[in-house]
Amino acid sequence: MEFLQPASWAEALELKAADPRAVPIQGGTDVMVELNFDRHRPPSLLDLTRVTELAQWGTENGHVRVGAGVSYSRVIAELGDQLPGLAMAARTVGSPQIRNRGTVGGNLGASSPAGDCHPVLLAVDADVVVASVRGTRLVPVREFFTGVKRNVLAPDELIESVVLAPAGGPQQYSKIGTRNAMVIAVAAFGLALHPAQRHVGTGIGSAAPTPRRAPDAEAFIDGVLDSDGLWDSREPIPDAAATRFGDLVASASSPIDDVRGTARYRAHALSVLARRALVWAWDELRGRR
Amino acid sequence: MRVNLTVNGVAMQADDVWEGESLLYVLRERLALPGSKNACEQGECGSCSVYLDGEVVCACLVAAGQAQGRSVRTVEGLADGERLDPVQQAFLDAGAVQCGFCTPGLIVMVHDLLQRNPQPSDPEIREALAGNLCRCTGYEKILDAVRQAAEVKAT
């Protein structure tokens, strides 16, 4: 096995192009588990922790660009104001030790249906910046995941960053698990209110082969908020509408039975998570939380 | 491959390191520092917690090569000669050690917690130690130890 340690982004892309089977490693919280248990022995590891460009975040054209090497701990400490949903999701990841190492870029790269960042990134319609020696392209996160632990990355591509708008309204992330820490979500839900666009964004985790949106639920609640004039009146969302929203989120999922839970439980949990997330976010918008 | 790193303030060199090896393996098997424990090898248990450039991480999830040129501090590097660090002493005094396997990781984690937050609340202690598993104590004595260490450090 080879250990490749590029010192710059350009060098990293060249190494990946020369050795497309090289496995990128950042915090190691997924890759090292595979190696420790000898489940996977790649021809080479591409260590991205020396690529300083990846460990930075900044604001460009009114959007926040979070480098693929920014840890969850830093998302929580440095980006909680601008990206509250992502910070909430980051706070639920693993333990302090894991959050010090794990990254948003690594979460995307692993493309687990249970990845904690994904529901929020879907709800805010983030873009993933992917690059290779051939150039850089922007992939909407909604098109990024193609299957269980699969994504659109070509063999020579690496994730550079994720780009998203600073929150224009309240955001939520909720997750079901057996305890508060060290949990792979049984079901998870991300929600973002976009008052300027008069839109509610959604993201489902751990309840389908890929993280996915709930478009029918979005259309339904957008319609209710619009026809009842709630964006202007800031009156409470009727209970029946919130419940219907939860049911539509659940019906957008296609969960399986596995060791962590049954499909039926996941769908039910998701309907509850979605209803609560909507009400919590709406109450925050109304200044009641 | 060869890995050069600083451990507990001392420049060290490990040779014949396999490229897929963890920092934990390097510490325990190549650098004769068995304080950090090897238990789950998947970041679940916290018994291999060490400082890497000042941040607590699971050494089992750091590739050896990623530690090249970095600074590592393990449980062996906390005492001042024969004098235990207040966190170590508090674990002894409070009876927070039973089989001892989780102890080094917990001590490193508590050491870090009290540096960042000298007077943590109980929920803050629980949150900070959420990634460190203990199967003997039931955690109550560990919480006592953290409170005692915080008190000692404050005086």
- What CATH number corresponds to the domain at position B43? 3.10.20.30
- Average pLDDT of adjacent 10-residue blocks, chain B of 155 residues: 98 97 98 97 97 98 98 97 96 97 98 97 97 95 98 92
Q: Which two tokens stand for residue A27?
A: 């915090």
Amino acid identity, residue A62? G
Give me the interface pTM, i.e. the ipTM: 0.97
Its pTM stands at 0.96
Which residues does residue A67 pair with via DSSP β-bridges, in sequence order? Answer: A161
Question: Which residue in A95, A99, A182, A183 has the most chain B C-beta atoms within 10 A of its own C-beta, making it the best mutation to test that interface?
Answer: A95
- The structural domain count of chain B equals 2
Q: For residue A64, what are the CA distances in angstroms to A61, A150, A170, A283?
A: 8, 25, 17, 26
Q: Is A90 helix (H, G, I), strand (E, B) or coil?
A: helix
User: In chain A, whose CA is at the least distance from the CA of B47?
Assistant: A97
Residues A17, B76: Cα–Cα separation, whole Å: 42
Q: Give the domain extent around B147.
A: 86-154
If we measure between CA atoms, which residue out of A220, A218, A193 comes closest to residue A282? A193
**Burial environment of residue B121 by CB neighbours within 10 A (0 to 12, 13 to 18, 19 or more):** exposed
Q: Nearest chain B Cα to A49, which residue?
A: B66
A225: pLDDT strictly greater than 70: yes
Beta strands at A57-60 and A63-67: parallel, antiparallel or unpaired: antiparallel
| Residues from chain A contacting residue B57 (CB–CB below 8 Å) | 97, 100-101
Name the closest residue on chain B to residue A95, using Cα atoms: B131
Interface of B with A in 45-104 (CB under 8 A): 46, 49, 55-58, 60-63, 65-66, 68
- pLDDT at A19 > cutoff 80: yes
Q: What rounded mean pLDDT belongs to chain A?
A: 97
Over residues A227-266, the pLDDT tens digits come to 999 999 999 999 999 999 999 999 999 999 999 999 999 9
Whether B58 and B98 map to the same domain: the answer is no
Per-residue pLDDT of A59-114, as tens digits, reads 999 999 999 999 999 999 999 999 999 999 999 999 999 999 999 999 999 999 99
Give contacts of A 30-49 with B, CB under 8 A.
31-33, 35-37, 41, 44-45, 47, 49
Which of B22, B46, B130 is closest, CB to CB, to A32?
B22
- Give how many domains chain A has, as a whole number: 2
**How do beta strands A44-47 and A23-25 pair?**
parallel
Its sign, for the CA torsion A213, A215, A216, A219, is positive
Q: Among B30, B59, B77, where does a domain finish?
A: B77
Q: Is pLDDT of A179 > 90?
A: no
A15: CB partners within 8 A, 6+ apart: A4, A6, A22, A46
SS3 A122: helix
Distance between B151 CA and the closest CA of chain A, angstroms = 23
Contact A249, A271 (CB under 8 A): yes
Answer whether residue A200 is part of any domain: yes
Q: Give the closest-approach CA distance of B59 to chain A in angstroms.
A: 10
End-to-end CA distance of chain A: 53
- CATH number of the domain residue B150 falls in: 1.10.150.120
Burial of B67 (0-12, 13-18, 19+ CB in 10 A): buried
Tell me the residue range of the domain where A212 lies: 171-285
User: Is B123 found in the same domain as B69?
Assistant: no
List the one residue out of A111, A125, A90 whose CA is nearest residue A30: A111
B95 and B42 together in one domain: no
Share above pLDDT 90 across residues of chain A, in percent, rounded to a whole number: 96
Tens of pLDDT, residues A122-178: 999 999 999 999 999 999 999 999 999 999 999 999 999 999 999 999 999 999 999
Cβ-contact A118, A85 below 8 angstroms: no
Judgement on whether residues B73 and B91 belong to the same structural domain of the protein: no
End-to-end Cα separation, chain B, in angstroms: 47
Contacts of A73 in chain B (CB under 8 A): 55
Q: Is B44 on the interface with A (CB under 8 A)?
A: yes
Contacts of B18 in chain A (CB under 8 A): 1
Which of A25, A94, A180 minimises the CB distance to B43?
A94
- Number of C-alpha atoms within 13 angstroms, CB side, residue A284? 17
Rounded-to-integer distance, Cα A217 and Cα A209, Å: 19
